């Protein structure tokens, strides 16, 4: 109970920082740095099957990276919200705005998870254990709980690191193999 309060307080603090993370030019510059580092990491790991997200305003804008990866014919997948979790579908246009203002590909056949080379996950904050603090809906946690053995690398991306030097996460929160920031 105490940890939940600490985590929620930390989340609120991080969200306020992200919302004030500078003007559009500043956000663009930070995103560009993150995307270049992320692309280099994808190349280094020869990731062909990649789960990524469709960004909200406070998250790193992945659209330029998506365009680049599609030209290279990499298999891209995105979350498709379903109940309290999500399933993985192929990235397809057009996109539709759904719950919480999140864009999604039109409903398509579920990707039967065999193996994903990489999952790119947005974070609100992180603690000393390198576990994710997200928006508080638990969707990524539920998804990873079922599919973690099918995901080779988990990469957190953030425009700005909001970090807690103490443990505020729970054992089931998603853990990163790599964190990429400006």
- Among the residue ranges 23-32, 41-50, 98-107, the one predicted with the least confidence is 98-107
pTM of the model: 0.86
d(CA 30, CA 28): 6
151-157 and 116-122 beta bridge pairing: parallel
Beta bridge partners of 175: 131
**Per residue in 68-120, pLDDT tens?**
999 999 999 988 777 676 778 787 666 666 655 565 556 655 556 679 999 99
3-state secondary structure of 118: strand
Higher per-residue pLDDT: 70 or 139: 70
As given in the structure block, the two tokens for residue 89 are 């579908």
pLDDT confidence bin for 128, thresholds 50/70/90:
very high
Tell me the mean pLDDT in the region 148-164: 92
Contact in structure between 133 and 141 (CB atoms under 8 Å): no
Alpha-carbon gap, residue 63 to 18, rounded angstroms = 19
> What's the token pair of residue 101?
């203002």
For tokens 């939940």, the residue is 4
Q: Which of 13-27, 46-60, 141-155, 158-172 is predicted least confidently?
A: 13-27
> Using 50, 70 and 90 to split pLDDT, how confident is the model at 139?
confident
Q: Three-state SS for 163?
A: strand
Q: Which range (23-37, 51-65, 77-91) has the least confidence?
A: 77-91
**First CA to last CA distance, the chain:** 34
Beta bridge partners of 118: 50, 153
């Amino acid at each position: 109970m105490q940890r939940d309060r600490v985590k929620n307080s930390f989340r609120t603090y991080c969200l306020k920082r992200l919302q004030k993370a500078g003007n559009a030019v500043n956000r663009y510059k930070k995103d560009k740095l993150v995307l270049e580092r992320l692309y280099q990491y994808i190349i280094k790991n020869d990731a062909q099957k990649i789960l990524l997200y469709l960004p909200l305003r406070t998250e790193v804008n992945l659209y330029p990276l998506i365009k680049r990866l599609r030209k290279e014919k990499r298999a891209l997948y995105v979350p498709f919200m379903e109940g309290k979790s999500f399933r993985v579908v192929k990235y397809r246009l057009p996109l539709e705005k759904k719950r919480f203002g999140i864009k999604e590909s039109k409903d398509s056949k579920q990707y039967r998870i065999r193996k994903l080379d990489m999952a790119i996950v947005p974070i609100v904050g992180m603690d000393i254990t390198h576990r994710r603090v997200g928006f508080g809906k638990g969707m990524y946690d539920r998804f990873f709980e079922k599919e973690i053995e099918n995901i080779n690398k988990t990469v957190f991306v953030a425009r700005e690191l909001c970090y807690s030097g103490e443990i505020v996460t729970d054992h089931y929160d998603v853990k990163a193999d790599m964190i990429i920031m400006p």
